[in-house]
Amino acid sequence: MPHDALFASLAAAIPGVQFESAPSVDLHATAFIDRNEVPLVARALRDRPELAFDVLAEVTAADFWPREPRFELVYLLVSIGHRRRLRLKVRLYGNDAHVATVTGIWPGANWLEREVWDLFGIAFDGHPDPRRLLMPEDWEGYPLRKDYPVQIRKEAQVGEPLQVSAEEFRANVLKDRLTRQP
């Protein structure tokens, strides 16, 4: 399906949503959408049979500091049945960098969104597990922001190995399994 036909199909599936076509260096269709429309667009992209973007391949971001809007949040989507890809971009201002999570639509977004939050500081409203993923819990700042200080000195932290008996280990595993069951 040519890019124009894909965008026409998107516009028909979601009336009132503005899709701004963007140039691309590869053959994938690229469009900008408003951050308030991310959940609506994501659900339509997944659920509409003529679109059927059933795989969220990647969530990443780019920092264009000092320009505003500072960030571009990028979703890379794949429709396996239709054999096509779509790149959705969302512009975010530096002082208001947050967007709704899509983990309820594509569960695989969980860790991808955590990575973007951890490295860029872009928050995902309603995310089920907003913890650091790559950086230590006590790390300050977001290393992939362009204004992040590169010449930083931080003391290495040394942890002690956890010593538990075999019985304590089994009890902890059982407790974890019981808490994970619905």
**What are the C-alpha distances in Å from 107 to residues 37, 104, 171?**
19, 6, 29
Q: Is 28 exposed, middle or buried (0-12, 13-18, 19+ CB in 10 A)?
A: middle
pLDDT on residue 182: 58
Read off φ and ψ for residue 179, nearest 5 degrees. -75, -25
- Measured CA to CA, the distance from residue 42 to residue 46 in angstroms comes to 6
- Measured CA to CA, the distance from residue 128 to residue 123 in angstroms comes to 12
- Measured CA to CA, the distance from residue 127 to residue 72 in angstroms comes to 19
- Measured CA to CA, the distance from residue 176 to residue 182 in angstroms comes to 12
Tokens matching residue 136: 């230590």
CA-based max dimension of the chain: 63
Of residues 172 and 74, more confidence is placed in: 74
The domain ranges of the chain are 3-180
Model confidence at 160: pLDDT above 80: no
Q: What percent of the chain has pLDDT over 70?
A: 93
Model confidence at 39: pLDDT above 80: yes
Mean pLDDT of 95-112: 95
Helix (H, G, I), strand (E, B) or coil at 94: helix
Mean pLDDT of 61-71: 95
Helix (H, G, I), strand (E, B) or coil at 179: helix
- The CATH number given to 3-180 is 3.30.460.80
Tokens matching residue 179: 């808490």
Mean pLDDT of the chain: 88
pLDDT on residue 79: 93
* pTM passes above 0.75: yes
